[in-house]
Amino acid sequence: MLDNQLLKIAQEFGSPVYVYDADKIEKQYNRLASAFKDVKKLKINYAVKALSNISILKLLKSLGSGIDTVSIQEVKLGLAAGFSPDQIIYTPNGVSLNEIEQAAKLGVKINIDNLSILEQFGTKHPKTPVCIRINPHVMAGGNANISVGHIDSKFGISIHQIPHILRIVENTKMTINGIHMHTGSDILDIEVFLYASEILFDTAKQFRNLDFIDFGSGFKVPYKQGDIETNIEELGKKLSERFNAFCKTYGKDLTLAFEPGKFLVSESGNFLTQVNAVKQTTSTVFAQIDSGFNHLIRPMLYGSHHEIINISNPEGRERFYTVVGYICETDTFGNNRRINEINETDILCFKNAGAYCFSMASNYNSRYRPAEVLWYNNKAHLIRKREAFDDIMRNQIEVDFNAKKDTILAK
């Protein structure tokens, strides 16, 4: 999208506002599908938690995507978006058996990552096929907070516990229809991913009724000019060749599944904010905006980098600014960034704001969550209204403190 288009959106819908480019989402989806074109059966399941707006889900459904869900609420959202149960895989962590049973009743694919829950579910529902999430004990990516395949991770069943899984399957007579792993985000070295894949193949050999193998995702996208990213094309070539060879040995054409979130939607997103004030201190020039970590928490939570551009003054001379929010906490988006000269009321654009941005927003400080807009067919479509005070109050229940208090008479 062009800066002048984003400016018009900010003028029309106000700020702060999230804007998503449908064309970019489609290009990323087709790029991933093309990289694995040599696989007979490929299934891309979009990770709903990255960006869960129902219009985004419907867009991805139109492209042929399934969805990966992590809560019963995301399952229901997927069904509301028009996905059939067989297009939905449910991959929770730390939920109750009751919630898993609710999802199973809806007919979606079930993915379990806990030995105890696996045994309980298999005992009660042996005829319901189950996928198993394996922890390959492989550290992928450079950030421990977003790497989930290492030995201390809460996610998955350890590869060293495969004998326990086999015993449970034998005792319950349950069917295992899939094997799954997710090593984490921001994978750069595809050889590490391929190494983890070999662990998954070795695990899959021990289950004879599989329909699919799910390799998770975690593909890195570029966060700034010249940044490195996962080489999807090289990974596609190497993993496709290895997967096809495994299927031949296994004696059955399995489905190769992925569950990308950030890869599909991150680069499509632009977060537009207005500058409230420019504040000069003895050492720093602060650009204070009409947002905070209540809207975009990733820089504070993960140290994530988002390029910040002044789209109101693209030709202005560059100066150093520290961009901060209006929350009564430390909510620094960027320290000492070179940005075209900023004035009050200018619109700043945060790039790579499509994944884990709005979906992690809150009402902290009783602030409203922002609007969302989808740029589709060269037109801006409002896909979520900005919140208002009624939304803050909707589920609160007031106690009448003027009512007569009950008295207790002491004996």
Domains present along the chain, CATH in parentheses: 52-260 (3.20.20.10), 266-382 (2.40.37.10)
Which pLDDT belongs to residue 139?
61
Which pLDDT belongs to residue 153?
73
> What is the three-state SS of 110-176?
EEECCHHHHHHHHHHCCCCCEEEEEECCCCCCCCCCCECCCCCCCCCEEHHHHHHHHHHHHHHCCCE
**Residue positions annotated with a catalytic role:** 328
How confident is residue 224, by pLDDT bands cut at 50, 70 and 90?
confident
Task: Say if CB 269 and CB 354 are below 8 A apart.
Answer: yes
Which pLDDT belongs to residue 407?
54
List, for residues 93-145, the tens digit of each pLDDT value.
999 999 999 999 999 999 999 999 999 999 999 999 999 999 988 865 554 44
Share of the chain above pLDDT 90, in %: 85
- Is the pLDDT at 310 greater than 70? The verdict is yes
List, for residues 150-195, the tens digit of each pLDDT value.
456 788 999 999 999 999 999 999 999 999 998 765 677 888 889 9
The arithmetic mean of pLDDT across residues 276-285, rounded, is: 96
How much is the pTM?
0.93
List, for residues 43-100, the tens digit of each pLDDT value.
999 999 999 999 999 999 999 999 999 999 999 999 999 999 999 999 999 999 999 9
- Beta strand pairing call for 157-158 and 347-350: unpaired
Packing angle, helices 232-250 and 22-35, rounded to 10: 50
